[in-house]
Structure 1
Amino acid sequence: MSGLFGTSSSAATNTVGDLKQDVAVGNPPEDSISDLAFNPNPADQKDFLAVSSWDKKVRIYEILPNGQAEPRHAYEHSLPVFGVDFFKDGQKVVSCGADKQALVCDLATLETAQVAQHDQPVRCVRYFDNSGTPMVVTGSWDKTVKYWDLRQQQPAATLQCQERVYTMDVRDNLLVIGTADRYINVVNLKEPTKFYKTIQSPLKWQTRVVSCFADSAGFAIGSIEGRCAIQYVEDKDSSSNFSFKCHRDPPQGSVTNVYSVNDISFHPVHGTFSTAGSDGTFHFWDKDAKHRLKGYPNVGGSITATQFNKTGTIFAYAVSYDWSKGYQGNSQQYPNKVMLHPVQADECKPRPSVKKR
């Protein structure tokens, strides 16, 4: 089913999105941005955005009603930060990084405490709720995933993975782990100490990101060669799972430039999703209709991270160097910014299905 989302030139005109209303966040990080997280439970309906970066900091911004963002707090790791997530109540932020640990920052007291430790850098971190108990799950290059109850110093449980953990996501009771060598581990958080299912990624190249559906029935996978796969936890029928091409230039003769899919975010209301990549573009897709909703012009640099706010009215994306061209591809002039895209009514809504009579 590759190429399923291809749009004909006649339809392409109304599928091009507009960046004119996008607003840059002031006082952005000073190095590559690794992750973005919105608070899932906006107090007083206020949106807060947490941004982690290679400059060793996590920054918290408040999104004001006029669309501008104000810096509210920042805290530091001792080495680059790779991942960040909010607690369910929106009152705490958890982050992880190259310092082999995870930190929790209480936004009420602004105090920071270490809550996790690994033998190698911690690549990703997520919050989840275990029967009312706040829990943190961390995935590391030491090939383990660890669960942390914040009331104790030792991990509540450890999962041994096949390879280094590159990406991870949680939604409801679904935990999905992507490792090196293209292993994808699916965990039911009601039975967190075992793999419910393990598959090899249907994509032929290295996994860059996994992201759970809004309804937790499955997940999307993005790879380094401009492909995305849709996978359901329970295989309904052979056509449910499919993959498609994205983030690649039109062929020039026998050469096609392909780009990494760096992040995938699901719309919290409509269940549609975004892909963003090294080519500096993002797109909105409808997996059920197998259709691209909107594609956006190049933003002037690789997009390294994306996130919708809780209501799906703001789409945040980070523009910074993603190391896809190695050390030599970086420069002092490379942009480093977080942009806020106001989501218009029709941009992420699923297309009405055409039913045959």
Structure 2
Amino acid sequence: MAGLFGSASSTTTSASNTQGDISKDVPISNPPEDSISDLSFSPQSEHIAVASWDKKVRIYEINSQGGSEGKALFEHEGPVLSCCWSKDGSKVVGAGADKAARMLDLGQNGAPAQQVAAHEKEIRCARFVDVPGQQTPVLVTGSWDKTIKYWDLRQSNPVASINCQDRVYTMDSKDKLLVIGTAERYINVINLDKPGEFYKTMTSPLKWQTRVVACFTDATGFAVGSIEGRCAIQYIEEKDKNSNFSFKCHRQTPPNQRDVSNVYSVNSINFHPVQGTFSTAGSDGTFHFWDKDAKNRLKGYPEVGGTISTTAFNRSGSIFAYAVSYDWSKGFSANTPQLPNKVMLHAVVGDECKPRPKTGK
């Protein structure tokens, strides 16, 4: 995908230039008809799954020029809140407000999606994970019924279930690390070598409601984003605790009002699959790329014309997708037809996501 929107070399910028460019970003054709809740790229090909409040999961193919074409879709009986791919790229799962997870097997042309999981309340997130001893992919679902459940897709009942402290709001996994964020700011860490128990439980280092968690690419820790324009970098092991920190982001100071700061939710965090740097995106309609090790911002991008509800990198990190869509922060009544609803593709070029060179003292 090096050729997406032109050559990388032509848009390389100096490290001192932290203002990013979105003028060449390309919209996905035929986007969903309602708010976009989740984006997920295939780990094996240039396909992206898009979950929406219009009760559908859509799968698009992206070509080397940044064009897109709808390839498949399947329906739920309520808004879809999460979507994910199996590790081999053959299956897509959606999960949502109908208390079900449904899976489309892309290898079975024309076959309908099958229900593969159920909870007593809405399912907020779903992820495929590798669990030792399991010969087939395992699906993990997290629900507002305060449980997470593991599913062997060949069975109708979960192979394991864990009670959490409160409603599950967010979840992410990398290698043997699974991190779950719930209401009341609880964060649970699971080592998938022992999937039936919490390895560690903590309270979020941020003072306000957890919106998103995202695992580091090396699985040594995770980032947390809150509704109060803050992000925290948190390592799992005690020996690394001195590297933990948090920072303000997605805040705006109105003109001529130095003592006023408008605070926005951090809605999405993604780690670059190659560089290990990460993105944040928020209700202020901006996204940024950061280097956690250097503790600085690599690039900040202009407002995109609406709230950014969710984001994702593709498997190589050459494409950053972001949904310009209502994030439901102001409830049902604020979701008007005039609001934008689209998925944009941003070509990651030059040094946009590269860590800063380490300088000796």
TM-score range, shorter chain: over 0.9
Establish whether residue 257 from structure 1 lines up as the match of residue 262 from structure 2.
yes
- Report SS of the residue matched to 1:169: strand
Residues 1:87 and 2:92 aligned together: no
SS at match of 2:273: coil
Per-residue deviation at 1:236?
A: 2.7
Paired AA for residue 28 in structure 2: V
1:334 aligns to what? 339
User: Which residue number in structure 2 is paired with residue 62 of structure 1?
Assistant: 61
Partner of 1:129: 130
1:183 alignment counterpart = 186
Aligned to 2:8: none
Q: CA deviation at 1:253?
A: 4.2
Specify the code of the residue in structure 1 equivalent to 2:310: A
User: Cα deviation per residue 1:139-159 (whole Å; 9 max; x = unaligned)?
Assistant: 000000000001111100000
Once the two structures are TM-superposed, the CA of residue 239 in structure 1 deviates from its matched residue by 2.8
- Residue correspondence of structure 1 range 1-357 to structure 2 within 5 A: 14-42=17-45, 47-109=46-108, 110-111=110-111, 112-131=113-132, 132-250=135-253, 252-356=257-361
What RMSD in Å do the two structures reach over aligned CA positions? 1.3
The normalised TM-score by structure 1 is: 0.94
String of CA shifts for 1:108-151, please: whole Å, max 9, x gaps: 21431111010000000001122442100000000000000011
Question: Letter of the aligned partner of 1:206 in structure 2?
Answer: Q
Post-superposition CA distance 1:309-345 (Å, at most 9, x none): 0000000000100112233432111000000000012
The DSSP-based 3-state class of the residue aligned with 1:274 is strand
How far has the Cα of 1:238 moved from its partner?
4.2
Give the distance between the partners of 1:259 and 1:12, measured in 2 at CA. 27
Aligned-pair CA distance for 1:65: 1.4
Q: List alignment gaps of at least 5 residues for structure 1.
A: 1-10
What is the DSSP-based 3-state SS (H/G/I as helix, E as strand, rest coil) of the residue aligned with 2:196?
coil
Matched with 2:4 is none
Encode CA deviations 1:236-276: one digit per residue, 9 max, x unaligned. 34431100000000262432100000000000000000000
Paired residue for 2:7? none
- The aligned residue for residue 7 of structure 1 is none
Aligned residue-pair number = 342
TM-score relative to the length of structure 2: 0.93
Q: 1:211-248, CA deviations, whole angstroms, 9 ceiling, x for partnerless residues?
A: 00111110000000000000011133443110000000
Range with greater deviation from structure 2 (125-134 or 211-220): 125-134
**Ranges in structure 2 where 5+ consecutive residues have no aligned partner:** 1-13
For residues 41 and 50 of structure 1, the distance between their equivalents in structure 2, rounded to whole angstroms, comes to: 13
CA-CA distance at 1:87 after TM superposition: 0.4
3-state SS, counterpart of residue 252 of structure 2 = coil
Amino acid at match of 1:241: N
Pair 1:13–1:49, CA change in 2 (3 A): same
SS of the residue corresponding to residue 229 of structure 1 reads strand
Q: Percent same amino acid at aligned positions?
A: 65
Distance in 2, matches of 1:237 and 1:307, equals 27
C-alpha offsets along residues 26-53 of structure 1, whole Å, 9 cap, x if unaligned?
00001000000000012xxxx0000000
| Residue type of the alignment partner of 1:146 | K
Q: Which residue number corresponds to residue 3 of structure 2?
A: none
Cα deviation, residue 13, structure 1:
6.8
1:183-229, Cα deviation, whole Å (9 max, x unpaired):
00000011001000000000000000000011111000000000000
Distance change >3 Å, CA 13–CA 333, structure 1 → 2: farther
Deviates more, 1:103-112 or 1:345-354: 103-112
- Rounded to whole Å, the distance in 1 between the matches of 2:304 and 2:16 is 19
Q: Work out whether residues 90 and 105 of structure 2, in 8 Å CA contact, stay in contact via their aligned partners in 1.
A: yes
Could you tell me which amino acid in structure 2 is paired with residue 269 of structure 1?
A: V
